[in-house]
Amino acid sequence: MTIQSLPLRRDEAASRATLLSIDDYDVRLDLASSEETFGSVTTIRFTSQGGPTFVDLKPVSVEAIRLNGRPVAPSELAHGRLPITTQEGANELVVEATMPFRNDGEGLHRSVDPADGKAYVYGMCFMDAAPTIFACFDQPDLKAPYTFHVTAPHDWTVIGNAPGAQTEPGVWELERSQPLSTYFVTLVAGPWHMIHDEHDGIPLSLSSRQSIAADLDKDAEELFTLTKQCFDEFHRLFGIRYPFGNYHQAFVPEFNAGAMENPGCVTFRDPMIFTSRVTRGMRIQRATTVAHEMAHQWFGDLVTPQWWDDLWLNESFAEYMGNRVTAEVTEYDDAWADVSYARRQWGLTADQRGSTHSVAGNGAEDAVSALQNFDGISYSKGSAILRQLAAALGDDVFFAGAIDHFTTHRFGNATMHDLFASWAKAAEAAGVEFDLDTFTSQWLLTAGPDTLSWDPSKMVINRTAPALHPADRSHTFRAAILNGTRWTTEEITVTGDRTPLQVAANAVVLDPYDDTWAAAIPDWETVQALKGALPSVTDGRLRAGVWNNLRSAWFNAAVDPADIVDIAEASLPVEDLEDTHRRTMPWLFGSVVPLAPEGARERLHDAAIRKLDEVAPGSELQLSAYRAAIRSASSQTLLRRWLVTPPDGIETDLDLRWRVLTKLAEHGFTTREELRAAYAAEPANEARIHLNGALASLPDAEAKAFAWSVFTGETDLPNYDILAVGHGLWRGPAELTEAYVERYFDELPATAAKRSGWSLAEAAEAFFPAHSVTEATLGAARAVIEHDLDPGVRRRVADAADNLQRHLAVKITYPRG
């Protein structure tokens, strides 16, 4: 669904916040009358200084509008805005409208589970989606309490930001909430499988689709244990109790983000309920996400940014605290190593692109431009810098400042300057001298990372500031030094462009433990030494640091892909273990192998097969090796055998079965009929996504035409399926796909008529012809950026073009032999 609306400008939000104070919202929703739309009646009571303003509203139709008892013509609504003229003092606005159920992960998303035909609904109001659910003043600093009344099918459960109950069959009344910003108001409604618990006076609950109820039951003890441990630690650190009543964690289908911190009712993408076997890496990712969203209950929900330019504080703080608390109080004490694999490069690559921006003060003059800066810089870099700040201030000052911030602005809004004022006050009270102004200027207001490298011929560490963003940052970090077969650690402080490091070493790995924020690039001698040295390294964080050094070098065309393949062959599987797109294995197979010398994929496949024979059956390394072997396989005989009889210690679950089927499809070793029969035998959301990706991967014209129809919107699929099809399009012989390279750039602008928001931008990235590493494709990408594109699309294509340019640099610098 697309509704054309004007982005809210910062000056408009400031004017509206000066004019209005919102007393409360009363929202009545009828979710039972239709599968396409729902009834919405919003009553907003507010106080005004008197004068004109506007309400945000994106309906299918408007039945009636009354302001202070007088009708307002629905025809006044334009571009998602309803102009109104308020009276001085108390006002009441009532809007009766029909709203759209959506299937793009935004607004009130409705999904039908293919496993059993049951429908589920959840709300995602982030940024500008709330007006497709209820009429509102949609900006973060106009907080208000909400009371929801919901009519739903009789077998549904309804959960929201405040506790509620079913008063009669199909009728749910939720209590008046604490003051909330519009962007984290939510409802989840459907025939959910529910599990309840309690901890320290806080009612806890979990929900999932009925078809994965058994999987939620298996995971519930771990999820509740994590939640209880995190509550205890946050209460200890903050000294302020969780303030939003019940704490529900809803695992919902087709959710765009990892999770959303809605107070009292956090929503997670439901692949986090594990229906197939997963490794520890995925469990760590889930644990840190649980802790991240809990941290938001204080930073983001209790105290909310005044405007979107401080959204980084929400995410940086929650990222830092979620990772820290997970590592310190849960069973996942190795969380920092996994975070290094999963998140470090997300931030570092974003910070080195042309689209880089400062962490803070990034010029978000409207809500849409703010969303474009909601990236790895906001999360990973901001978290790393807060971690540095906490180390510099000490925990006592760091948390005293946070507590003062939470107390001073409780249930209100604040800015970065308010938080730093609290830290300055805490530092002064403790007698701690620290130059917060300089720290802020160098680390938060200046974009780009420094580059660190060791020159073994001159025995110096070189520090290079980004050319377009000059800075003079000092770095204190640990370096791992290999002398013979022995690794040692040395702490180093870099304060200038050249810092002596007199060591006898076979290899020097700079900042492997993520002590500072910089792109550390290994020298040639270190890269060569790692081929023999890395396999014996048992320190998980050092291994993660090595791979981050290699990935930073790759990003800057400073390492030969042949050398990376040599190291990977010796060390496979890379022990981040998971296949999410930010991690090492997808980068290795998706980016490095295509630019490496011929035979690289076969060598890595053989290494994975050898590892399968070496590791213990049933171990996580075996599962990781098996996934790598499937990813790199080209033998129909082998894949067919695995489909029936996997290696000893491996059970073929839905995920592994579809990995094999998709690889068979990519090579043309299967048919549409076999793929559809496999789905019919085990219908599920995950299977449907795999099916559509596999159908797009088949090496024939029909498959690519199907994929293209998804890109253009002619074939309508849910959001996860769109991404799977986008990746599947480019699999197969170049002669099948080359015509779509030009068509991508020609037809990209028109996709805004079919999709909007997150889904539109995600599709633009998923279908981008990243495999076409040519000057012509790069030129076409740069040309289309100059068109009148949706801002989210422009940002994704610009970043994809940056990646393409860097791949071209690797291709030119290290031609395939």
464-519 per-position pLDDT tens digit: 999 999 999 999 999 999 999 999 999 999 999 999 999 999 999 999 999 999 99
User: What rounded mean pLDDT belongs to the chain?
Assistant: 95
Give pLDDT, residue 576.
Answer: 59
Q: Is the pLDDT of residue 580 over 70?
A: no
Q: What is the pLDDT of residues 356-413, one digit of tens each?
A: 999 987 666 787 777 777 899 999 999 999 999 999 999 999 999 999 999 999 999 9
Residue of 439, 460, 457 whose CA lies nearest to 510: 460
Residue with tokens 């010398």: 597
The CATH architecture annotation of domain 10-275 reads Sandwich (2.60)
Tell me what the mean pLDDT of segment 739-758 comes to: 94
Domain ranges of the chain: 10-275, 308-444
Which two structure tokens, joined as six digits, stand for 793? 């699309």
Q: Quick one: tokens of 779?
A: 């030129």
Give me the sign of the Cα torsion angle 679, 681, 685, 687.
negative
Q: In terms of DSSP bridges, do strands 20-30 and 146-151 run parallel, antiparallel, or are they unpaired?
A: parallel
- Other beta carbons within 10 angstroms of residue 700's beta carbon come to 13
Question: Any bridge partners for residue 461, and if so which?
Answer: 454, 499
Q: Which amino acid is at 657?
A: R
Active site residue 293: yes
Cβ atoms of 635 and 606 closer than 8 Å: no
Q: Is 730 helix (H, G, I), strand (E, B) or coil?
A: coil
Query: Can the peptide bond before residue 573 be classed as cis, meaning omega within 30 degrees of 0?
Result: yes
- Rounded Cα distance, 72 and 60, in Å: 17
In the structure encoding, which two tokens stand for residue 72, read together? 């307002």
- Asked if residues 251 and 218 have their Cβ atoms less than 8 Å apart, the reply is no
Catalytic residue among 293, 315, 319, 762: 293
The pLDDT score that the predictor gives to residue 702 is 98
pLDDT of 312 higher than 90: no
Q: What's the CA gap between 376 and 316, in Å, rounded?
A: 10
Q: Torsions phi, psi of 483, nearest 5?
A: -125, 105
Q: Counting Cβ atoms within 10 Å, is residue 696 exposed (0-12), middle (13-18) or buried (19+)?
A: buried
CA 438 to chain centre: 30
As a whole number of angstroms, the longest Cα–Cα distance in the chain is 84
Query: Looking at the predicted structure, is the pLDDT value of residue 1 above 50?
Result: no
Q: Which of 529, 498, 349 is nearest to 546 (CA)?
A: 529
- Rounded Cα distance between 697 and 728, Å, is 4
Helix (H) / strand (E) containing 119? strand 119-124
CA 179, 223, 384, 399 torsion-angle sign: positive
Q: Span 668-680, mean pLDDT? A: 98
pTM value? 0.96
As a whole number of angstroms, the distance between CA 411 and CA 713 comes to 42
Tell me the CATH class for 308-444.
mainly alpha
Q: How many CA atoms lie within 13 A of 692 on its CB side?
A: 25
